[in-house]
Structure 1
Amino acid sequence: MLARSLVQKNLVKNFFVKRYNATLEQASPALEDAKINASSPALESLLPNYNNPPIHTLITTKSFPSLEPNSFIPIPSGTLYQPLRKDVLYEATYFEENAKKEGTILPGRSAWHFSRKKLLPQKGTGKARTGDGNSPIRFNGANALGRSEPNNPKTEIPLPLYQKAFNIALSYQYKCGKLNIIGENYGDKDSQFTAVKENEAIDFNTIPDALKINDVSDIENMELILIKFLDSQKLNNLPKILFVAREKESLVEKASLLPSLKNKIKVVDAESLEVTDILKAHRIYMDLLSLEYVATTNVIGVTI
């Protein structure tokens, strides 16, 4: 009975192998032709549902602080359409955390100042055996794993892998609906479907005339706008809100340092943005110039 079942399994296995090989033999010429001509009739007959992967991803640019849509912007799919890879994200975050560490010097047993003499006799004391004063179990003793210069805790990561992690993090937040782009399609005015109102802005460094208060400074005015923005968008309960501005020391960044907003929002310029900042944020508000900078500097395999 066992021999009969094994024979049947081998027959079925051989049948599927022959059919699989025959399918590959039929498909390989069509796939080779498809590399030259994507609209090959042989490929269409063999794979009727075949489509080329998308090249661009459409994102909606919005106004600030109402977040009303302005226009559509095509972004390369390599920036905002990457599949989730936790291993790549782990490598990038591990690299960033180690880059913030500083090497420290811990004197070991050989570098400590106590004598090598045994503190108590081996026997006769009724206590456990003791060593010298350099023992790590002693008060003010030496360290068990001493470290001396050079002690560099920093790690390395290939640049293409880090660039890919940047795109994966942005794609993840974009797919979750947490990435908001503030700006305007200044390259193609005809494609805009909503004009920017007088009480709106398309960057984080200007105050609309309709929202400007003459009696206060620009920083305090931006503070009031941000407080009202957090309240209207129901963001007060979210612990980590990230603003990404292209310019350093923008009005949003200066206003975020005030006591009323210090623990609510975080402002980072595009050049200082890290993968950890993107992943930890519950909402991301990035201006269009910052997105263009991130998209161009994180093309995999290209160094600018």
Structure 2
Amino acid sequence: MRKPTVTILTVSLVFNLVLSILLLNAHLEYSRTIELLSLKIRTLKEENENLRTIIFNLSQNYQRLVEENARLKEMVNTLLRQLPAYSTPEHGIELRDYDWIPIFGVYAVTRDMFSYELKGIMMKAYLKLSLGRNRIFIATTPKIGIELQASAEKALKAALKVCGSREIYDVYIVIKAEREVQVVDGPSAGAAIAVMITALLKGDSIRKDVGLTGTIDENGNIGPVGGILEKAIVAAENGIRVFLVPKGQSKIIKYVPVKKKVGILEWIYYKPMWVDLEEELRKRGFFMKVVEVSTLSEAYLYFIQE
């Protein structure tokens, strides 16, 4: 009788052991599930908090945009009231008491569904100053997509600093182009606008065959811009004799096509190469002088010297 009893006890022990292992595994799996769910809950709480922050920021930004829109409407209405009457057969606009300076931009032209190219455009920036409250009023004709507000505000501060003036002015700017266009780099006109404001403050006449591209800061430093080659080409096409560029940008990167052949396979890739801008223009039949400038004062001298 003892042998069956021992066998039963052994089977019972093995069964209990297996059951314990299964229960332990189930407990561990349950613990892991609980841990994952807790982690998920914490993550969702964090995401919920982030969403609340985003919604709050969007609400704040929306309110600022509403206020900015109201301010811009007031500026446009003021500009429309103060702009002189005008009309000419060439462009349908004539601005009295304004002087102008050429400015340059680039815009994108679609080649096909997958590519585009940049083209240069020369425009005229007409400016007038009047004592006021440091406001900038900007209009375009025809419709031109160009962001000038921030760079024009810096241009005014830079010009006032160069001239040592403590007067407070309003600046009226009208940008004229030959056609409607969406310019992609408005800040690059900042340095030219600063030159024109400086000339108005000093009562100087500026040369119209000198062009300038570059950003401007409040201290009169001229900064780098894009689309130098495209702007230089359109400047040369429009009779500009001296083209001023930011320091370090008289040399540009040009992508040169290179053929590669391995066995029967042949393909073309574009290799970047540094080239001299003035030399590149000469190869294209343009004999325009390119000069690097780093400050408003330095650039201004080229506009007033004969």
Query: Same fold, TM exceeding 0.5?
Result: no
Greater RCO, 1 or 2 (C-alpha within 8 Å, sep 6+):
1
Name the structure with the higher helix share: 2
Name the structure with the higher strand share: 2
When normalised by structure 1's length, the TM-score is 0.23
When normalised by structure 2's length, the TM-score is 0.23
